Amino acid sequence: MKLIVAIVRPEQANEVLEALFRAEVRGLTVSRVQGHGGELERVETYRGTTVKMELQDKVRFEIGVSNHFVEPTVRAIMSSARTGEVGDGKIFVLPVERVHRIRTGEVDEGAVTPLAEAD
């Protein structure tokens, strides 16, 4: 199992959601975050040029998946989040040691696999 963490532009977040839905990804968590992606803004001061680290609004997706879902999920995010401009974001794939579904007590694969009924 993996936890896919994707930081994307807020303007792309709905497209990412739709692409994930089409890829049959169901369980996910979304948060508004702020981040910095390396772009430095030059600021003129009376003592010369300095650089300022500006924080940008981003949206963070966290998606726990079984291994065979990793590539489809990454592809869905890549294609829906990309504009081609700097600042499109990043996708991190992290190992997951254990998952519990609280309601049923299911563990690991059983706990990350979506159930048919609505939650």
Where does residue 109 fall: left (phi above 0), alpha (psi -120 to 50 degrees), or beta otherwise? alpha
Closest separation between CB of residue 92 and ligand ATP, Å?
7
Question: Where does this chain touch ligand ATP (CB under 6 A) — which range of 33-41, 44-52, 66-74, 93-101?
Answer: 33-41
Least distance CB 87 / ligand ATP (angstroms)? 4
Site map (CB under 6 A) of ligand ATP, residues 54-93, x = contact: --x-x---------------------------xxxxx---
Residue selected from 4, 7, 20, 77 as contacting ligand ATP according to rule CB under 6 A = 7
Q: Which residues bind Mg ion (CB under 5 A)?
A: 37-39, 86
